[in-house]
């Protein structure tokens, strides 16, 4: 367990997180990590702007103990340059009003560097969970901004091995932190198995192959359509919000069910009613570096898992025989049907539990924390030398 504050960073420093993801969109890596950071720092989650205000304003909402979400509301006519200037002013005003003695900046999007490059935090970290420049509608300035951010930050974390390899050599303090697991949360699915589940899912026959997560350009819709056609007896349950695609792009078949977004707390009850977890990702630039958090979550829930050949799923899950990797649509269907037949295999579950035993978001954040402590101590030493007044903790 995490018992100490950020050693060398003060009792309650402020942590400003700059993110491209809405806090209330899908509960994933940022929420897991920053909820743990809030035990040690006051966390302010600065989201991308909403263009709906006559005058720039910053709206703060408390979303948990020690966590506030900050949303800039800007005029609709704001250009990219104007929006950055307005966000810089709003953030500067917020920081001035709070008078924080020490500041940590935690980036998820390099685009935010455009209006935060002037800040002088004691620690600056870039948690690179995705290769954003490969995503649909990526801003043209993203590549340049990431180069600038890498030159300024103290530590870089990557969300998987493929990203780590892609960033190798770009920063001297680079660390790989793959997707982790809230094991106790998803293990609830094992205990809920056979009990009445969510009403919308109870109306769907079995067997069920399920997916939860954001449904966007990374989803292979042709694969889903083919699988549903080739296995009409299998019900494909798709749980999650749409992003950057429209409902018209979703294949429509009797055994393909699009249930929409659900809360994080509800996910184990859906998992409990599935016979197999699926990850029908397309193989393209947007999925080349992904490390799906749902992989260990499905496994913790007791499900066999079938995925397309995603690098960070094949390594290590496929290589260890914990996840079935499908090479083509026919193989994908075959593996789903095989997995459904073998769902209750105790030997597989034992291997899963052994693998997940030391995987947790607590452990991941604790390791990150040690790196930040070292960065903070280095910053304090530099400041102390400049002031000719070395503090007692240096």
Confidence (pLDDT) at 132: 75
Confidence (pLDDT) at 134: 72
The mean predicted confidence, pLDDT, of the chain is 90
Residue 18 pLDDT > 90: yes
Mean pLDDT of the region 335-348: 91
Confidence (pLDDT) at 139: 79
**Burial grade of 141 (CB within 10 A; 0-12, 13-18, 19 or more):** middle
The CA dihedral of 240, 244, 247, 253, to the nearest 10 degrees, is -70
pLDDT band at 378 (very low <50, low <70, confident <90, very high): low
Let me know: does 13 contact 103? Beta carbons within 8 Å: yes
pLDDT band at 100 (very low <50, low <70, confident <90, very high): confident
Residue 384 pLDDT > 90: no
Residue 389 pLDDT > 80: no
Show Cβ contacts of residue 84 under 8 Å, excluding neighbours closer than 6 positions.
Answer: 114, 115
pLDDT tens for residues 119-131?
Answer: 999 999 999 998 8
Rounded to two decimals, the pTM is 0.90
Confidence (pLDDT) at 380: 56
Dmax (CA) of the chain: 75
pLDDT tens for residues 103-150?
Answer: 999 999 999 999 999 999 999 999 999 887 777 666 778 889 999 999
Residue 169 pLDDT > 60: yes
């Amino acid at each position: 367990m995490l018992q100490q504050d950020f050693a060398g960073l003060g009792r309650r420093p402020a942590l400003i997180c700059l993110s491209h993801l809405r806090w209330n969109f899908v509960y994933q890596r940022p929420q897991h990590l920053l909820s743990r950071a809030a035990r040690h720092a006051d966390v302010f989650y600065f989201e991308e702007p909403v263009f709906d205000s006559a005058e720039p304003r910053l709206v703060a909402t408390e979303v948990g103990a020690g966590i506030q979400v900050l949303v800039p509301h800007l005029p609709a006519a704001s250009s990219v340059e104007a929006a950055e200037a307005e966000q810089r002013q709003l953030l500067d005003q917020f920081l001035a009003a709070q008078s924080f003695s020490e500041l940590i900046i935690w980036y998820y999007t390099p685009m935010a560097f455009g209006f935060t490059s002037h800040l002088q935090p004691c620690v600056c970290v870039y948690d690179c969970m995705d290769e954003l420049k490969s995503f649909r509608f990526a801003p043209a300035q993203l590549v340049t901004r990431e180069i600038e951010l890498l030159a300024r930050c103290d530590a870089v974390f990557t969300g998987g091995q493929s990203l780590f390899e892609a960033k190798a050599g770009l920063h001297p303090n680079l660390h790989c932190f793959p997707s982790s697991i809230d094991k106790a949360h998803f293990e609830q699915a094992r205990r809920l198995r056979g009990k009445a589940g969510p009403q919308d899912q109870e109306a769907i026959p079995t067997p069920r192959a399920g997916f939860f997560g954001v449904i966007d350009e990374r989803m292979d819709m042709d694969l889903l359509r083919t699988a549903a056609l080739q296995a009409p007896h299998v019900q494909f349950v798709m749980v999650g919000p749409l992003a950057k695609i429209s409902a018209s792009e979703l294949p429509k078949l009797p055994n393909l069910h699009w249930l929409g977004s659900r809360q994080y707390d509800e996910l184990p009850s859906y998992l409990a009613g599935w016979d197999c977890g699926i990850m029908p990702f397309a193989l393209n630039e947007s999925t080349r570096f992904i490390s799906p958090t749902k992989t260990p979550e499905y496994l913790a829930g007791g499900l066999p898992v079938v995925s397309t050949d995603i690098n960070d799923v094949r390594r290590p899950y496929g290589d260890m025989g914990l996840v079935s990797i499908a090479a083509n649509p026919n193989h994908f269907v075959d593996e789903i049907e095989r997995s459904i037949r073998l769902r209750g295999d105790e030997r597989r579950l034992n291997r899963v539990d052994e693998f997940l035993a030391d995987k947790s978001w607590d452990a991941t954040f604790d390791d990150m924390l040690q790196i930040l402590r070292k960065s903070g101590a280095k910053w304090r030493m530099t400041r102390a030398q400049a002031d000719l007044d070395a503090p007692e903790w240096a």
